[in-house]
Structure 1
Amino acid sequence: MRSRLGRWALTLLSAVLVAAPAANAVLDGPATAAPAAVPIGTAGWRADPRHLPDPVTASPAAVHAALAGAPRSLATRYPGVVGELDGAPIALRYRANRAAMDAAGGRYAGWRGRYLLFDPRGDGRVAQVFGDLSTADRIAVLVPGVDDRLTNFHRGLGGKAYRSPAVQAANLYRAAGGRVAVIAWLGYATPHGVGVDAARERLAATGAVALRRFVAGLTAVRPHATIALLGHSYGSTVVGLAARYLPRQVTDIAAFGSPGMGVGTASALRTSARVWAGQSGRDWIRYVPGLRLFGFGHGRKPVDPAFGARIFPTADVEDHDHYLAPGTDSLAALARIAIGPGRVAPARTALAANVGGAA
């Protein structure tokens, strides 16, 4: 604990010697900006005589229009492209990512579930779906933070299951009573440890571009569904930087264990979504200063009353990594946010009156 806080403090102090990063230059592009990496197999896909939509330049809406009714063989011929092609038919992406996992072999060939993304390069990127995305009228996307990788996506950092994005998303899905589709989205390169990258917005800005495209893909294939984005730790910074560019289908944004969302107030997010925040009194993140200095730090904490977020209960959360632990007030609150206002939650996720109020 002390070592993590110490590294963060030293990083902030060193800010006076370092110039600010150009995060806005990364973000201020088209809402359908290119993927974080060129998909595996792109050259063959582009050479296909059927004139398939370009995986780098085509918008998710254009992809959806072009691939409606596409043959299933595309998924097995070009699994690396189809598997991460935002806007492609859901079943086609599931099939492609299963083929990519089988081709990767090892532990991945044995992974169960349905996936909208699988890229084993580098630290890896992956997105797993819980529930029926093809019929859900409400979708919750969980965005994890520091040190989450493809290799610990299921087992958790240090082998601790409660730190696994997949386990956390499964907990959320169960707590919501199966009323929503929940996606554990690890679609960006997260910082390694609580150091320089975690204190800056460079990786968050790149992640925000990928998140914007991913959400655009969801709205292309499920245009009538509404979406909640739930950002944990550095993942909340990713969500905050993406917020102003997100479509109206995103009705709720929740930040928990957050170091900051890149802005000083909820209104500065420039979103029509309801903004929620929670932070446990036993979370070490409370010691991280809510400031931005020479490109370091992520701004005012979203639980600060001056930020203007709707606060949800976290009194029984024991540390930074248990916000989605079964039985906690925090999980119940996040399940209610995931379900959305005006919809009946299961009895076990009933919340206090200050959660899920009017828009």
Structure 2
Amino acid sequence: MVSRPISPRLRRTLAAGLVAVAVAAPLAGMAGPDAVPAPDPVAQAPLAVGGVGALDARYAASRAGVLAAERTADAYGDRQRAAALRTMADPARHFLSFDGRDGGRTVEVFGDLAHARRVAVLVPGSDTNLDSYERLRAGAVALEQQAGGDAAHTAVVAWLGYPTPATVSPEVLTDGLADRAAPQLDAFVGQLHQLLPQARTSLVCHSYGSVVCARAAGGLAAADIVLYGSPGVGGDAGTVAGLHTRAAVWAGRGAKDWIADVPHVRVPLLFTTVGLGADPTAPGFGAHLFPAGDADHSTYLQPGSLSLRSIAAIVTGAADAADAAT
């Protein structure tokens, strides 16, 4: 993708923002306990080990990890984290993996994964961590229900497998975190395909998560990649062809989403490149566009919304890419 010119005023604004958040972000990151136990090896093994018959043991091992992290948070007096972890430790919930260290990573299943014929992997954007995890969970629950749940043999996997950037941070302006997360997402989806080789897998990627999915696209074993509320696809890809994927690429943006005001540029600045590049909803990008109604940046998976219905139709295969607007 060719970098577009940027005004001196915007360049100064970006530089000032980088300096300000570079000072604030490390201070904010000091909060919370760090002495959380390492994950149980059972919950860290490749998904295909033991097949679907090993899922219950994996769920149990992950829950033990959640409880250990909750005890650590209590010991450190971190009441917010402890309360969030107690909620996550509900025996009715199913985690494929959990790691409470360094802000937290977790992968949770909604629906019957062992018998799923369709699987949606939900990849979140900025400001998603263990303390704010319930927002991601609510979206996953809504998508699983809209897609028909167990009756339609559809499962949703909420993949918080990378350290998401803060909305106000230097990292959110670059694709560095996405580049580091992409191989992890690629590996997870590959393992999911080994576990369920006949299942249709879709990547459902919100905000900065769409940058992660776009950077991983070339290796993903997926039928669909859905980019919504996207600030750009990162890197130099200016079209779907530049993602080098065999998956159908979909894009949508709600009428009330402030992300529409983000400039789609790539600007060399200081020691990095600022900006996340091409807009996947632009006609020239070549993605299949889906209707997102009047969604704002945080309501795409709100129950009853047009955007949720559109995304669920893609996940179930009901949406026809051949008839979608491009």
Q: Output the aligned Cα RMSD.
A: 2.2
User: For 2:113, what is the secondary structure of its paired residue?
Assistant: coil
**What is the TM-score normalised by the length of structure 1?**
0.70
1:70-119: CA deviations, max 9, x gaps? xxxxxxxxx52222333244233212101112222343244231001211
How far is the alpha carbon of 1:193 from its aligned partner?
Answer: 2.1
Q: Secondary structure at 1:134's aligned position in 2?
A: helix
Q: Tell me which residue corresponds to 1:267.
A: 241
Instruction: Specify which of 299, 309, 312 is matched with residue 322 of structure 1.
Output: 299
The aligned runs of 1:340-359 (5 Å cut-off) are 340-341=317-318, 355-358=319-322
Deviation at 1:10, TM superposition (A): 6.2
The reply to whether residue 189 of structure 1 matches residue 190 of structure 2 is no
What is the correspondence of 1:17-56 to structure 2 with a 5 Å cutoff?
none
Cα separation, partners in 2 of 1:11 and 1:83, compared to 1, 3 Å: farther
Contact 1:11 1:199 in 2 (8 A): no
Query: What is aligned with 2:280?
Result: 302
Corresponding residue for residue 56 of structure 2: 91
Paired residue secondary structure (2:320): coil
1:171 to 142, 146, 158: 142
Structure 1 residues 301 and 101: CA distance shift in structure 2, 3 A: same
Partner amino acid, structure 1, of 2:158: A
Offset of residue 305 of structure 1: 0.3
Assess, with a 3 A threshold, how the Cα gap between structure 1 residues 12 and 146 changes in structure 2: closer, same or farther: farther
1:204 is the counterpart of 2:175: no
Structure 2 Cα separation of the partners of residues 204 and 285 of structure 1? 18
Q: Are positions 1:217 and 2:197 aligned together? A: no
Percent sequence identity over aligned pairs: 42
What is the match of residue 99 of structure 2? 119
Partner Cα separation in structure 2 for residue 281 and residue 133 of structure 1: 34
| Aligned residue in 1 for 2:312 | 335
Q: Which residue number in structure 2 is paired with residue 63 of structure 1?
A: none
Equivalent residue, structure 2, for 1:279: 253
C-alpha separation in 2, matches of 1:331 and 1:181? 15
Q: Distance in 1 between matches of 2:13 and 2:308?
A: 31
Tell whether the 8 Å contact from 2:230 to 2:279 is kept in structure 1 after alignment.
yes
The 1:271–1:233 alpha-carbon spacing in structure 2 relative to 1, beyond 3 Å, is same
Give the deviation of 1:195 after TM superposition: 3.0
Write the distance in 2 (CA, Å) between the matches of 1:211 and 1:240. Answer: 11
Contact 1:261–1:302 (Cα < 8 Å) also in 2 = yes
CA contact (8 A) 2:253 2:292 kept: yes
Of Structure 1 and Structure 2, the greater helix share is in 2
Partner of 2:32: none
1-structure distance, mates of 2:230, 2:215 = 13
Whole-angstrom distance in 2 between the partners of 1:186 and 1:10: 32
Q: Which residue in the other structure is 2:225 paired with?
A: 253
**SS of alignment partner, residue 193 of structure 2:** helix
Unaligned runs of 5+ in 1: 1-8, 19-38, 42-78, 155-163, 342-354
Secondary structure at the residue paired with 2:274? coil
**Equivalent AA in structure 2 for residue 339 of structure 1:** T
1:236 to 204, 210, 229: 210
2:209 and 2:12 mapped to 1: Cα distance? 19
Contact 2:256–2:294 under 8 Å retained in 1: no
What is the alpha-carbon distance in structure 2 between the residues aligned to residue 244 and residue 12 of structure 1? 34
* Offset, 1:238: 0.2
For 2:86 and 2:216, locate their aligned partners in 1 and report how far apart those are by CA, in whole Å: 33
What are the Cα deviations for residues 122-150 of structure 1, in whole angstroms up to 9, with x where unaligned?
A: 21011111001111011100100001011
Cα deviation, 1:40-92, whole Å, max 9, x if unaligned, reads 65xxxxxxxxxxxxxxxxxxxxxxxxxxxxxxxxxxxxx52222333244233
Secondary structure, in 3 states, of the residue corresponding to 2:97?
A: strand
TM-score (norm 2): 0.77
Q: Counterpart of 2:285 in 1: which secondary structure?
A: coil
Q: State the one-letter code of the partner of 1:330.
A: S
Tell me, what secondary structure is at the counterpart of 1:306?
Answer: helix
Question: What displacement does 1:300 show?
Answer: 1.1
| Distance in 2 separating the partners of 1:190 and 1:146 | 5
Separation in 2, partners of 1:128, 1:118: 9
Amino acid at match of 2:286: G
Checking the alignment, whether the CA contact within 8 Å between 1:80 and 1:119 is kept in structure 2 is no
SS in structure 2 opposite 1:320? coil
Where does structure 2 lack aligned partners over 5 or more consecutive residues? 1-9, 20-35, 71-81
Offset of residue 14 of structure 1:
2.9
Amino acid in the other structure paired with 1:256:
Y
Match of 1:101 in 2: 66
